[in-house]
Structure 1
């Protein structure tokens, strides 16, 4: 009896200490999460270096981290700085009246009255839709301007989080496999289940970050290039916006380039409108269908509708990290239920069949 009390007390304190540690790490959730994601993505590079250079964990991890810095961290920082600068420029032009989003929408309504008539069949108020679009456009540029001011005011915190992420990435690249084995020993789920779940975690993280993010960058770059060629204001900004919305299945970059093509046609620029439409359908649209099977793989891809819902839910719950966290939670949900169905569904079915046989055997006796 006393031994059971000791065990229960220990387990209760274990849960309490674990929760306290989780709360302690909460302010660093972003750097920790991205350190884990980057370590998973570049783990094959570390393994390749180990095969070529031998068992030199510190050197292999350091070289892998440098490769990560050159390929990912430095370009992302440069793109982010350019995006914020572009957003501030657009916001200043809106404030000065040089850019008037409302007039662009009015021009489309005047040139294509059929659009208003079509939306009216579904009881859609065009004026209300116009106001929402203008507010979204102004709010987006204002958000980027605030981010620029915020980063300038909190430069130390930003670079501290970046340095923490890079520091953690080094140790996760070097000792990640040991940590996974330690977790497998510690968690009371069964080694086979734990290995399956860790494999699913790594698989979905790689697919989402490496595959979906790379595809989004490619689509955003293609969109930004055509906008720049056609002379559309804020080509870099719209390219990044297209990259962001490309993460959402069934929505994609079309939510940006389609209205742009419609506006070009409304103001009489028919040739640029046709060029943008053809380019959007053939080049930007097909990029996802051609690259996703190669970079992500059909076997690791969860259903598009679940990706859409989980991505939107993840962004609402976790912020910018949600575009990875949402699909990851959905994939783990499917993995857990898959394990349950495989291990317990068959037993339940067999038990039901056995009960049915017993009932049939007892039937003559009851008669």
Structure 2
């Protein structure tokens, strides 16, 4: 009877824990990127935190606050630049509507029956309105973004301040030996570095190449488009063509065949460079197999958005690693 009563209390406790866990997950899931982002930033900036606290004798709290300010500047300054320039580009498209239609009409004279100008005249205002609507919706999502950022930085602060306790907790609760738990932590750091550093370097290279190419071809807003290309490079294969393909078409319509062909060649070089640079860097930095990176990105982006670029490869790498640990310890 006593054993039965103890079992009953145990199952009640498990049920309460599960209910509370499901409740928390349900209402925190919209901000899951904040949790994931905190752990990613923790893995990236922990060496800096340890340098400040151990080498320069900074207070742990002060070091964590300085790192948070640094990461905020890295996020806020580019975001402000992108939003401002995006608005200017949309405004420019609206102002040059008649000029664009005039150029297309000249192009149609050589290809009767295309009726491109009618379609452009119909859809160009819609495109401008859609672009403006996207910007305003992005502004309306600021509240949700702010909440996610607060969660992310709140968690990041405590991860940095209590990093030594974190490793103790992981070793205690992970269902593996201390040796394998340490391997798991090292793998997280290695894969995170390999993914983020390689992705960042590829983004800088591709954005710089497109920006310089557009500048050499006297295309307006070369700095903005280079900056945007760096962001779109996080979307493998499909991202940067969203910039150079429309520009190539525009210059083709203008009968500027030299610029159109130059943009085409530039775009192909930028796109195909990813297939060589990214795998090479990931192999050198973290011994991350290119297949893991590619499959992980296509899994991660639909599930987590841009953060999925890191989380996707991490999930696959962790699955393989945990399965190997499970096999070593339990099979």
The bucket for the TM-score relative to the shorter chain is 0.7 to 0.9
Task: Report if aligned partners of 2:232, 2:240 keep a CA contact under 8 Å in 1.
Answer: yes
TM-superposed deviation, 1:281: 6.1
Q: Kindly report the root-mean-square deviation, in angstroms, between the aligned alpha carbons of the 2 structures.
A: 4.4
Q: Does 1:335 align with 2:317?
A: no
Query: Residue deviations 1:40-75, cap 9 Å, x none?
Result: 111111122233134842233334334xx1xx4324
**Secondary structure at the counterpart of residue 307 of structure 1:** helix
Q: Quickly say closer, same or farther: Cα 1:156–1:252, change in 2 above 3 A.
A: closer
- 1:306-325 alignment, distance < 5 Å: 306-325=292-311
Task: Report if aligned partners of 1:86, 1:236 keep a CA contact under 8 Å in 2.
Answer: no
The number of aligned residues is 324
Query: Residue deviations 1:194-245, cap 9 Å, x none?
Result: 4333333333333333331342134223312322342334535533442244
Query: What residue is the counterpart of 1:207 in the other structure?
Result: 194
Q: Quickly say closer, same or farther: Cα 1:20–1:170, change in 2 above 3 A.
A: same
Query: What residue is the counterpart of 1:14 in the other structure?
Result: 17
Q: Quickly say closer, same or farther: Cα 1:97–1:271, change in 2 above 3 A.
A: closer
Q: Quickly say closer, same or farther: Cα 1:290–1:161, change in 2 above 3 A.
A: closer
Query: What residue is the counterpart of 1:223 in the other structure?
Result: 210
TM-score (norm 2): 0.73
Q: Quickly say closer, same or farther: Cα 1:213–1:298, change in 2 above 3 A.
A: closer
TM-superposed deviation, 1:275: 5.0
Distance between the aligned counterparts of 1:153 and 1:332, measured in 2? 36
Task: Report if aligned partners of 1:223, 1:284 keep a CA contact under 8 Å in 2.
Answer: no
Distance between the aligned counterparts of 2:246 and 2:108, measured in 1? 12
Query: Residue deviations 1:2-47, cap 9 Å, x none?
Result: 3444444433333333333333433432333222221211111112
Task: Report if aligned partners of 1:193, 1:339 keep a CA contact under 8 Å in 2.
Answer: yes
Bigger radius of gyration, 1 or 2? 1
- 1:1-367 alignment, distance < 5 Å: 1-2=3-4, 3-54=6-57, 56-66=59-69, 69=70, 72-95=71-94, 98=97, 145-153=132-140, 155=142, 158-236=145-223, 238-250=225-237, 253=240, 256-257=243-244, 260-261=247-248, 264=251, 267-273=254-260, 275-276=262-263, 286=273, 289-290=276-277, 293-294=280-281, 297=284, 299-304=286-291, 306-340=292-326, 342=328
Structure 2 gap segments, 5+ residues each: none
**Secondary structure at the counterpart of residue 42 of structure 1:** helix
Task: Report if aligned partners of 2:34, 2:148 keep a CA contact under 8 Å in 1.
Answer: yes
TM-superposed deviation, 1:310: 3.2
Distance between the aligned counterparts of 2:19 and 2:312, measured in 1? 27
Distance between the aligned counterparts of 2:91 and 2:52, measured in 1? 49
Task: Report if aligned partners of 2:38, 2:156 keep a CA contact under 8 Å in 1.
Answer: yes
